[in-house]
Structure 1
Amino acid sequence: MTAYPASETGLLVIDPYNDFMSEGGKLYEATKETAMASGFYENLPRVIAAIRSASIRVFIVPHRRWRPGDYDSWLQINHSQEGVRKTQLFAEGSWGGEFHPQFGPKPGDIVVHQHWGQSGFANTDLDAQLKLHGIRKIILVGMVANTCVESTARFGMELGYHVTLVKDATAAFSAAGMDAAHAVNAPTFAHAIVTTDQLLEALPSSG
């Protein structure tokens, strides 16, 4: 089983916004079915609590908060970005664009620069922050399994990080998306694909 020394391990919490993770958020209902099926809302707090207890550093990896004018003159805008623009997802200054009170940053956490697309590494300081803190192993949880979580994990692998996916501490817009993320795609890039229980067994003792 993979070991996760506190000094070289980081937890990446992807897009912990109210719009995703709080009832009434713009994408809460769209991800609710898979979240309930995976046990997301039971498992994510267990992961975060165990990580903190083990003195492993937490990195918050947020999507761009929508602002007026975003994407308006882009030459290439994809389907997801068009959806963000239309719905004003994670709008800056709105409740939906605030971090979820339970899953968002706490004192001592690192909040990474916001990503515009799907990878938390692309055009952000995530790689620099991880290296500056001596992180070699990254554990990924959050939203969405087959987009931002997967893209960030793939990019991390390319940069030389050991990548762990916690498959029941994430959710997606469909069961097919969850299956693609964990059963089809993850084995091609992730070093470990685990459940919350398996991860907790592998974490170091409280420190």
Structure 2
Amino acid sequence: MFNPKNVAIVITDPQVEFLKPAGKGFGATKDILEKVNTIENLINLFAVAKNKGYKRFISAHYFYPHDTKWQFKAAGETMMIENQMFWRDSQYSPVVEGSGADIIPEMKELMDEDTILTSPHKVFGPESNDLALQLRKNGIDTIILAGMNANLCVDSHMRELIESGFNVIVAKDAIGAPGQEAYDAALTNFGYIANQVLTTEEVIDAL
């Protein structure tokens, strides 16, 4: 059984961009979202964790106009920035409701004082945000990881958090991916690297 004193939920990119039809990346992810019931599982996990007193951390993706001036970008960064994905007008402007950068409404309804929205990660992993610091300051050593996208941000978060000494459990059906090949590749990596790979139901049973 898990203990809320040292276990937390970490969700990467629970945003409109890949999870809702209004998002620019939804066309690539919708098949896997439907196949594994990603949104339903993600919200169930988040809701049960809230009801049982577990802290929930959201590591979101945001891009701003100044990011377009980066002197070099890899393929994924280039695609997201050129298409203004996860876009905000500035750090000081609120997220536009329903935009690609917005957290999906089902999750926003469940967010409270025990939901920690970290500073944004800029590429795929948490190296450039304060997720690890927030986890440690809250006494967390074990993470249940879910979100988007399996082969990109979820995988990158898993790797960095493992390297940083955290115990990482992936909820394999509370994630999505841009196609079956990407999803299968991520599951292979999770199996080699994560401490455990569980279904959402198995995670909930242990909360």
TM-score relative to the length of structure 2: 0.90
- 101-110 or 54-63, larger mean C-alpha shift: 101-110
Give the length in aligned residue pairs.
197
Q: Which residue of 2 aligns with 1:32?
A: 30
Question: What do residues 149-196 of structure 1 show as CA deviations (whole Å, max 9, x unaligned)?
Answer: 0110111111111101011001100101111111x2112210110011
Report the residue type matching 1:67 in the other structure.
Answer: Y
The equivalent position to 1:114 in structure 2, one of 113, 120, 135, is 120
In the alignment, which residue of structure 2 is the partner of 1:168? 173
CA contact (8 A) 2:118 2:130 kept: yes
Identify the residue that residue 17 of structure 1 maps to in structure 2: 15
Alignment of 1:195 onto 2:207? no
Map of 1:185 onto structure 2: 189
- Contact 2:63-2:122 within 8 A present in 1 as well: no
Question: In percent, how many aligned pairs have the same letter?
Answer: 28
Offset, 1:103: 2.2
Residues 6-26 of structure 1: per-residue CA shift (max 9 Å, x gap): 110111111111112222211
Q: Which of 53, 57, 81 lines up with 1:85 in the alignment? A: 81
Instruction: Output one character per residue of 1:8-45: Cα deviation in whole Å (capped at 9) or x when no partner.
Output: 01111111111122222111221000111111122111
Asked whether 1:73 is paired with 2:78, we answer no
Who is 2:2 aligned against? 4
AA of the residue aligned to 2:63 = W
Kindly report the root-mean-square deviation, in angstroms, between the aligned alpha carbons of the 2 structures: 1.3
With 45-54 and 16-25 compared, the bigger mean Cα shift is at: 16-25
Unaligned runs of 5+ in 2: 89-94
Extract unaligned runs of 5+ from structure 1: none
- Among candidates 135, 142, 156, match of residue 147 of structure 2: 142
Deviation string 1:76-125 (CA, Å, 9 cap, x unpaired) is: x1111000111100111442222211224712111111011110x21211
Match among 98, 105, 124 for residue 101 of structure 1: 105
Q: Distance in 2 between matches of 1:129 and 1:103?
A: 20
